[in-house]
Amino acid sequence: MKNNISAIIYALAAAVFYSLNVPCSKLLLGHIPTTFMAGLLYLGAGLGVGAMYILHRKKEKSEERLNRKDLPYTVGMVLLDIIAPILLMIGISIGTSANATLLGNFEIAATTVIALVIFKEKVSRKLWAAIALITLSSMILSFGGSDSLSFSAGSLFVLGATVCWGFENNCTRSISGKSTYQIVTIKGLCSGTGSVITALMLGEELPETAYVLPALLLGFVAYGLSIFTYIKAQKTLGAAKTSAYYAAAPFIGAFLSFVLLHEEITAAYIVPLIVMIAGTALVVADTLSKQHSHQHTHTFTHTHNGSTHTHTVTHSHEHTHYVTDDRHGHRHSTKELEKLLPVQHN
């Protein structure tokens, strides 16, 4: 239970850290081109957490560090983090930004489906309902008028980006048991370098040096600390639940825009917020469901070679209890019990 609560705090902290990205980036994007901005944010994450890693490395056990077995997931994580923004930019360039923002919310669903189908992560009905509500609330929040509903070739690229990020979240989940410092450092430096190279290939102008340091500092907090706490949460919650909690980020970001940029909060914010709270409540209920063991004793009699025997079989199994569920649905046949469990003769 304590681990689950700590994981929830980490997931929400990741959302809070990332929510600083939108309002603060708006202040910098007037001076830094978009792809360079993405690169600097990732580099800030890699450099900042890399500095933390230098201080922490001596305390780290050797088995916590990434090894050759983790290489496919590590490479996949970095490549997908470079490909996804490029697909998103193509989608925006041939479509509309409102449409891209709306479709971008499918990352939550993509992460969950990939976690279930490919990575065999358990997804309960309650969690599916929560993810549906959270996705709906995010779509309502980001709805930008009739342009948001137009489906074009650009929409396919945006959906491709969400699928890439869904795979990236699951790749990160697969190595989340290893050094969080090492993962974020590699992710930040490699993805940041890839974005900067992409920016140069696109012909973007180099940003003024006066704005580079603020962008790096923002990257350390909004990307570095956000990714760091996100991975910490994934260790306990898995990819699907963590992405659901992380979906609170745009709501926190909208609130910060109200505080920092004096943007107006309207019904278009309040209504999806209520839907988001309902979805989050379901995720919390699913996360904090209690697990404990039940022991059962089965007695049965049968005749063998003219002699009657009575067998008593005791076995235990774990249950995940929900508040509204009082049925376990465990059924064992006599043959299954004889094959699988130790038998005591009376």
Residue-wise DSSP of 265-329 = P-HHHHHHHHHHHHHHHHHHHHHT-EEEEEEEEEEEEEEETTEEEEEEEEEEEEEEE-TT-----
**Same structural domain for residues 261 and 313?**
no
**Same structural domain for residues 193 and 104?**
yes
**Same structural domain for residues 242 and 206?**
yes
Residue 207: the pLDDT is 92
Q: Report the alpha-carbon distance of residue 94 to residue 147 in Å, rounded.
A: 13
Residue 232: the pLDDT is 92
Q: Report the alpha-carbon distance of residue 196 to residue 206 in Å, rounded.
A: 10
**Same structural domain for residues 94 and 155?**
yes
**Same structural domain for residues 223 and 137?**
yes
**Same structural domain for residues 79 and 211?**
yes
**Same structural domain for residues 248 and 329?**
no
Q: Report the alpha-carbon distance of residue 245 to residue 38 in Å, rounded.
A: 23
Q: Report the alpha-carbon distance of residue 161 to residue 168 in Å, rounded.
A: 10
**Same structural domain for residues 190 and 321?**
no
Q: Report the alpha-carbon distance of residue 58 to residue 5 in Å, rounded.
A: 28
Residue 215: the pLDDT is 94
Residue 187: the pLDDT is 92
Residue owning tokens 């993509």: 110
Dihedral of alpha carbons 292, 8, 165, 52, sign: negative
Residues of the chain falling short of pLDDT 70: 1, 22, 96-102, 141-142, 144-151, 261, 263, 289-346
Residue 252: the pLDDT is 78
Three-state DSSP at 344 gives strand
Residue 335: the pLDDT is 39
- Parent domain of 267: 2-287
Residue that finishes a domain, picked among 287, 315, 337: 287
Q: Report the alpha-carbon distance of residue 108 to residue 105 in Å, rounded.
A: 6
Q: Report the alpha-carbon distance of residue 119 to residue 76 in Å, rounded.
A: 14
Tally of structural domains, the chain: 2
**Same structural domain for residues 150 and 9?**
yes
Q: What tokens were used for 32?
A: 């830094």
Residue 225: the pLDDT is 96
Residue 54: the pLDDT is 92
**Same structural domain for residues 144 and 175?**
yes
Three-state DSSP at 63 gives helix
